[in-house]
Amino acid sequence: MEFFNKTGKVALGSRLRMLTEKITEDAAQIYRLYNVDMQPKWFPVFYVLSVGEEKTITAIAKEIGHSHPSVSKIIGEMKKKGLVTEKKDKADGRRNMVSLTKKGLEINTRIQDQLTDVNTAIEAISAQTTHDLWKAMEEWEYLLEQQSLLSRVVEAHKKREAGNVVIVDYQPKYKSAFKALNEEWIARWFKMEAADHKSLDHPEENILKKGGHILVALYNDEPVGVCALIKMDDPDYDYEMAKMAVSPKAQGKSIGFLLGQAIIAKATSLGARNIYLESNTILKPAISLYNKLGFKKVTGRATPYERCNIQMELPLPV
Amino acid sequence: MEFFNKTGKVALGSRLRMLTEKITEDAAQIYRLYNVDMQPKWFPVFYVLSVGEEKTITAIAKEIGHSHPSVSKIIGEMKKKGLVTEKKDKADGRRNMVSLTKKGLEINTRIQDQLTDVNTAIEAISAQTTHDLWKAMEEWEYLLEQQSLLSRVVEAHKKREAGNVVIVDYQPKYKSAFKALNEEWIARWFKMEAADHKSLDHPEENILKKGGHILVALYNDEPVGVCALIKMDDPDYDYEMAKMAVSPKAQGKSIGFLLGQAIIAKATSLGARNIYLESNTILKPAISLYNKLGFKKVTGRATPYERCNIQMELPLPV
DNA sequence: TATATTTGTGTAACTGGTTACGTAATTTAT
DNA sequence: ATAAATTACGTAACCAGTTACACAAATATA
C-alpha cells in the first residue's frame, strides 16, 4: 500500500488490519479447497481440543487468548456441525466440558495435510523476505506486554513537552507568580503560616539577599513552576530546597523534576555539601519526586513549619 | 502468546488479528489522552483530507484501500461531529465532494503533536526489535500481491502430492486400468474408434511388442494415470506419445506432467530424435500440458483418428 | 438517438471479534 | 452456617470492517 508510505508508522494499526484481513480471507478459501467443513476462526479452538482432552470454555478461551463469549459462540457453531460435544461436569455444575466428537477427530486427521501445505507456503514466503514477520510480531507482543503503546506515547509526550520547558533565574517580574503558585498548593492542602508570608511576600530580602536562589520554569514564556534554594545557618546543612510549586495546569511535563534537577545543579555549582528539605507525607507525588531526585529521609530536626512531618536530605558529591 | 509457539505459523492470521486489536485499542485511548474528539478508524480518511482538497467518497476509499461503504459510514460520523462537509458536484451529479470544515482543519493542527509522539513511541519500540515489523509487512503485502496465499498453498499441495506419485513400467495387471482410464475420457469427449479398440484391448501386441512402451502413474499403489510411447514407422518421427489418460479423481497432483516428463525421458534413453503427438484443441488442459512439456504445433500429416485436429512434435537433444 | 454499460453512492445485512450484564454454582471469610 | 466474593458461562448489544444490492447519473455503443 502506497498510502502507508505517506502516513508513516502512525497508521501501523490500519496496516496490520488490512494484512490480517487479506490473510484470513484466503484461509477460508483454503479450507474449502481441501473440502474441510471448517471456518478459519474455529481453528484455535479446534487446535486445543485436537489432543483429545475435555476442556472448559474458559480454559480454552484463556489458552487461545480470546474472550470466553467468543469461544462460547464458536463452540455453539462447531456443535451444530457435529464436531464437538458438551457435557456438564458432575463435580462442578458450572463447568461445560467440551471435547471433539468422532467426526471432529476424523477431520483432525484429514486436516493435517492441509496444515503442512499452508505451513510450507508460509515458510516459502518468509524465505523470500529479509524481515521476519513472525519474529517481529513476537517481539512486538513482548514489548507491548512490558509497557503498553499508550504509556510509551505518554512518555514520548512528556519528553517532548519537557523540551519546551526552560528553567531560568528569578527576576522581579516573577515575584507575583512565585507567591501565587505557592499559595495555590499551600492553601489547598494546609494553611498559610507566618514563615510562608515572610518568604513569599519578600523573596528578595528573605531569600536572595541571604545567599539563596530562586529558579523559575517557563512554558511558552509563562512561569508555571518555581523553586527556591535557601541558605541555611546550620553546621550540618548548607542549603534548603523549599517553596517548590508547579501549576496544576502544567502537569505531565516533568516540570517538578526539571526544577529539582536545576536546583541540585545550582547547589553543586555553589559548592554545597548537601541539600535539606521539609515536606508532608500527604503530598505523595512530591515525596516520590524527592525520592527520584535522590533525597533520603532524616529525623530529629526542629522546624518552624507546622505542616512538616518529614525531613529529607541529599548529600552532594564533593 | 505462548499458544502460537505451539500452533506454528498456520495461525499467522489469528496472531496478526490479536496484535492489531491490541494496538488499535491503545490508539483510541491515545486520542482521548490528547483530548482530540476523533476515532482511530477515522484517521486514514482524515489524513487524506488533511491537505485541504475536496475528494469524492470513492477516491478516498481507493486511496486508503477501504471499501466505499466504509468510507461512506466514516464520513457520516465525521459529519455529525462537524469535521467534514459534503456537497454535490455540479458537473457530475453522482459525486459527493467531501472536505474538512474549519473545525476539522483546526483539529488537524492540534493533532500534529500527538502524531509525532505516537511516531516517537513506535520508533522507540522498533529500535528495540531485531526484526522490523513495518518492513516485514511491506514485504508480505508485496509478495501476496504477486501471488495470493491461496495459490501458494495450492502449489505446495501439488508439489507434495506429486511426491506421492510414482511412475512405473507397464505390467499385465494394469491392462484393465490402461483401457478404463482411456475409455473414460475418449467416450466423454468423442467416441471410441477402431484404432482405439485395437491398442486398448491388446496393448502387449499392438504397442509393447512393436517396440513401444507404456508408463503407469500410481497414487497409493493405485493406477491413476497412463501414457504410451508408440514406435512409429516413419522417416520423420521415431515415437508417438499417445493414450495419455489421467483419472479425474486424481487431479491437482501434476500427474499428466509427471507422465509426460517420464515419457520424454524414456524416449531420450531410447535414443529418439523426436516425439510426435495428435490431439484435439477442445482438450484445452491437454494442449497446455503439451506446450508446457515443450511440444510445438506442426501441420500436414495424415492420421487414422477422426478426433485429431492438431499435431505436435518435440525435438529431443541428441 | 436510444440503449447498454460503467461509475458514484447509500443502505442493509453479515462477520468475527469485543464488552456489559445476568445468573447459577462454588469457594472464602466471618 | 451464613454472607460475600469469585468463577463459569450464556445472551445481548456493539464495533469496524465487509459484501450484496439498488438506484441515479454519466458515458459508451449500436
Give the model confidence (pLDDT) of A64-98 as tens digits: 999 999 999 999 999 999 999 998 888 888 899 99
Whether residue A44 has pLDDT greater than 90? yes
Indicate the pairing of strand B239-246 with strand B222-231: antiparallel
Strand-strand pairing, B274-279 and B310-315: antiparallel
What distance in Å separates the CA atoms of residue B218 and residue B227, rounded to the nearest whole number?
Answer: 12
Of the partner residues A9, A34, A137, the one whose CB lies closest to the CB of residue B122 = A9
Which nucleotide across the nucleic acid strands is nearest to A64, CA versus C1'?
C17
Q: Is B282 on the interface with A (CB under 8 A)?
A: no
Compare all CA atoms of chain B with the CA of A122 and give the residue at the minimum distance: B9
Percent of chain B residues topping a pLDDT of 90:
68
Q: Which residues touch B127 (CB under 8 Å, ≥6 apart)?
A: none
pLDDT score, position A59: 94
Cβ of A99 near strand D (under 7 Å)? The reply is no
Alpha-carbon dihedral B141, B146, B147, B148, rounded to 10 degrees: 30
Is B28 an interface residue toward A (CB < 8 Å)? no
Q: Write the pLDDT tens digit of every residue in B186-232.
A: 999 998 988 899 999 999 999 999 999 999 999 888 999 999 999 99
Any B CB within 8 A of A144 CB: yes
pLDDT at B140 over 70: yes
Which A residues 149-208 touch B at CB under 8 Å? 149-150, 152-157, 159-160
Per-residue pLDDT tens over the stretch A198-236:
999 999 999 999 999 999 999 888 999 999 999 998 888
Mean pLDDT of chain A: 91
> Smallest Cα–C1' distance to nucleotide D25: which residue has it?
B94
Does the CB of B86 sit below 7 A from strand C?
Answer: yes
In chain B, whose CA is at the least distance from the CA of A157? Answer: B117
CA distance B206 to B191: 20
Q: d(Cα B106, Cα A183) in Å, to the nearest integer?
A: 36
In A56-115, the residues whose Cβ lies within 8 Å of chain B are: 63-65, 113, 115
Asked if residue A1 has pLDDT above 70, the reply is no
- The 3-state secondary structure of A217-275, one letter per residue: EEECCEEEEEEEEEECCCCCCCEEEEEEEECHHHCCCCHHHHHHHHHHHHHHHCCCCEE
For residue A301, the model assigns a pLDDT of 82
Is residue A23's beta carbon less than 7 angstroms from any atom in nucleic acid strand C?
no
Query: Do the Cβ atoms of A44 and B144 come within 8 Å?
Result: no
Ramachandran quadrant class, A172 (left: phi over 0; alpha: psi -120 to 50; beta: rest): alpha
Residue B168 in grid coordinates: 512405473
CB crowding B286-310: b at 16 or more within 10 Å, else e = bbebbeebebeeeeeeeeebebeeb
In Å, what is the separation between the CA of A10 and the C1' of D14?
26
Cβ B149–A26 below 8 Å, yes or no?
yes
Residue A252 has pLDDT above 80, yes or no: no
| Biggest distance spanned by C-alpha atoms of chain A | 92
| B45 Cβ within 7 A of any nucleic strand C atom | no
Nearest residue to nucleotide C20, by CA–C1' distance, is A69
B82-116 b/e (C-beta count within 10 Å ≥ 16 → b): ebbbeeeeeeeeebbbbebeeebeebbeebeebbe
Phi and psi of A80, rounded to 5°? -60, -35
The full 3-state SS of chain B, as one line of letters, equals CHHHHHHCHHHHHHHHHHHHHHHHHHHHHHHHHCCCCCCHHHHHHHHHHCCCCCEEHHHHHHHHCCCHHHHHHHHHHHHHCCCEEEEECCCCCCCEEEEECHHHHHHHHHHHHHHHHHHHHHHHHHHHCCCCHHHHHHHHHHHHHHCCHHHHHHHHHHHHHHHCEEEEECCHHHHHHHHHHHHHHHHHHCCCCHHHHHHHHCHHHHHHCCCCEEEEEEECCEEEEEEEEEECCCCCCCEEEEEEEECHHHCCCCHHHHHHHHHHHHHHHCCCCEEEEEECCCCHHHHHHHHHHCCEEECCCCCCCCCCCEEEEEECCC
Is B50 in the A-facing interface, judged by CB distances under 8 Å? no
3-state secondary structure of A214: strand
The pLDDT tens digits of the residues spanning B100-112 come to 999 999 999 989 9
Question: Minimum mean pLDDT among A114-123, A279-288, B22-31, B182-191: which range?
Answer: B22-31
SS3 A119: helix
Shortest distance, CA A258 to any CA of chain B (angstroms): 20
Is residue A247 a contact partner of residue A224, using CB atoms and an 8 Å limit? yes
User: Is the Cβ of A135 closer than 8 Å to some Cβ of chain B?
Assistant: yes
pLDDT at B1: 66
Grid cell in block for residue B251: 487431479
Q: Percentage of residues in chain A with pLDDT exceeding 90?
A: 67
B94 CA vs D29 C1’ separation (Å): 22
Q: Is the pLDDT of residue B10 over 70?
A: yes
Q: Is A1's Cβ below 8 Å from some Cβ in B?
A: yes
Determine if strand D comes within 7 Å of the CB of A17: yes
B23 touches chain A (CB under 8 A): yes
Which one, of A44, A78, A76, A38, lies nearest residue A61 by Cα? A44
Q: Which of A7, A9, A43, A67 should we substitute to test contact with B (largest number of B Cβ atoms within 10 Å)?
A: A9
Most distant CA pair in chain B: distance in Å? 92
A62 touches strand D (CB under 7 A): no
